[in-house]
């Protein structure tokens, strides 16, 4: 495996030196996408938020800043990502408003019905089965809670499909596939927004009351 392929494969689960380089670039590299995706959130006043697949932790920090009364749990299954996210969010952690921990979306091990908002930025490409993982998110959301998914790829763009071929375990899902899996997991309301000029999608799913 060439160096470039080794490096881009770090997007799945950052490890070692290359993983640290990848995570260091995630926060800035995905910022515009994440902010665009968050702009579609309805008016919320969440008490508890979980950011799943938090990467370098930038988006968890943005959520803590946006929702001043919320407590944020940021989860990633890469120890390298957990370390970076912890460092990036030291302020929120010290204030008692954030916890960064290692975890697996297929078995979240979080209290059922606790969270008002769950988020997943640039991560579901690597989740081991959408319906199962979406069901885990559904379980930990409160009735009426919101699940936000933000992807750089809409599952049809040529550039992302090229990466899908060289990154182990990557799957670029279409908006229809995401919508279907969310509804199969129990979410009755799903809304998809497409960027006007880029293959970005922002998906908001709401748990029934």
pLDDT of 23 > 70? The answer is: no
In this prediction, residues 2-26 reach a mean pLDDT of 55
Arithmetic mean of pLDDT, 160-180:
88
* Angstrom distance (rounded) from CA 122 to CA 33: 9
Is residue 179 scored above 90 in pLDDT?
yes
Q: What is the pLDDT of residue 166?
A: 76
Higher-pLDDT residue of 204, 158: 204
pLDDT in tens, 73-95: 999 999 999 999 999 999 999 99
Is pLDDT of 10 > 60?
no
Decide: pTM greater than 0.75. yes
| CA nearest neighbour of 106 among 73, 128, 81 | 128
Q: Which of 142, 87, 90 is nearest to 113 (CA)?
A: 142
Q: Name 21's Cβ contacts closer than 8 Å, sequence gap at least 6.
A: 7, 10
Identify the weakest region by mean pLDDT among 1-10, 52-61, 132-141.
Answer: 1-10
Q: How confident is the model at residue 8, as a pLDDT?
A: 46
DSSP string spanning 27-67?
HHHTHHHHHHHHTTPPS---SEEEEES-TTSHHHHHHHHHS
Does pLDDT of 139 surpass 90?
yes
Q: What are phi and psi of 148, to 5 degrees?
A: -110, 125
Rounded to an integer, what distance in angstroms lies between the CA atom of residue 121 and that of residue 74?
Answer: 12
pLDDT at 41: 93
Alpha helices in 70-155 (DSSP H): 79-88, 90-94, 130-140
Q: What is the chain's mean pLDDT, rounded?
A: 89
pLDDT value at 26 more than 90:
no
Domain 3-37+46-206 sits in CATH at: 3.40.50.150
Q: Rounded to whole angstroms, how far apart are CA atoms 109 and 166?
A: 31
pLDDT tens readout for residues 92-130: 999 999 999 999 999 999 999 999 999 999 999 999 999
Is the pLDDT score of 193 beyond 70?
A: yes
Task: Tell me how far apart the alpha carbons of residues 11 and 129 are, in angstroms, rounded to a whole number.
Answer: 18
> pLDDT at position 143, please?
98
More confident: 26 or 186: 186
User: Residue 92 contacts by C-beta under 8 Å, 6 or more apart in sequence?
Assistant: 60, 61, 64, 72, 98
The DSSP secondary structure of 98-121, one letter per residue, reads EEEEE-BTTB----TT-EEEEEEE
Question: Which class for 43: exposed (0-12), middle (13-18), buried (19 or more C-beta within 10 A)?
Answer: exposed
Spans of all domains in the chain: 3-37+46-206
């Amino acid at each position: 495996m060439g160096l470039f392929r080794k490096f881009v494969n770090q997007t799945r689960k950052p490890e070692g030196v290359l993983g640290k380089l990848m995570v260091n670039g995630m926060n800035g590299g995905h910022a515009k996408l994440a902010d665009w995706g968050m702009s579609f959130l309805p008016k919320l006043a969440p008490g508890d938020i979980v950011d799943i697949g938090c990467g370098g932790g930038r988006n968890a920090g943005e959520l803590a800043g946006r929702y001043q009364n919320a407590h944020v749990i940021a989860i990633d299954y890469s120890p390298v990502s957990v370390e970076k996210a912890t460092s990036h969010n030291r302020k929120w952690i010290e204030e008692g408003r954030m916890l960064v921990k290692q975890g697996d979306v297929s078995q979240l091990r979080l209290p059922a019905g606790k969270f008002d908002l769950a988020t997943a930025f640039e991560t579901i490409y690597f989740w081991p089965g959408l319906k199962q993982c979406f069901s885990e998110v559904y379980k930990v959301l409160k009735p009426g809670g919101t699940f936000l998914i933000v992807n750089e790829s809409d599952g049809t763009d040529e550039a992302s499909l090229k990466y899908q071929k060289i990154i182990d375990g990557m799957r670029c899902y279409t908006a229809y596939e995401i919508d279907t899996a969310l509804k199969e997991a129990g979410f009755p309301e799903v809304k998809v927004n497409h960027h006007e000029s880029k293959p970005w999608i922002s998906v908001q799913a709401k748990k029934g009351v």
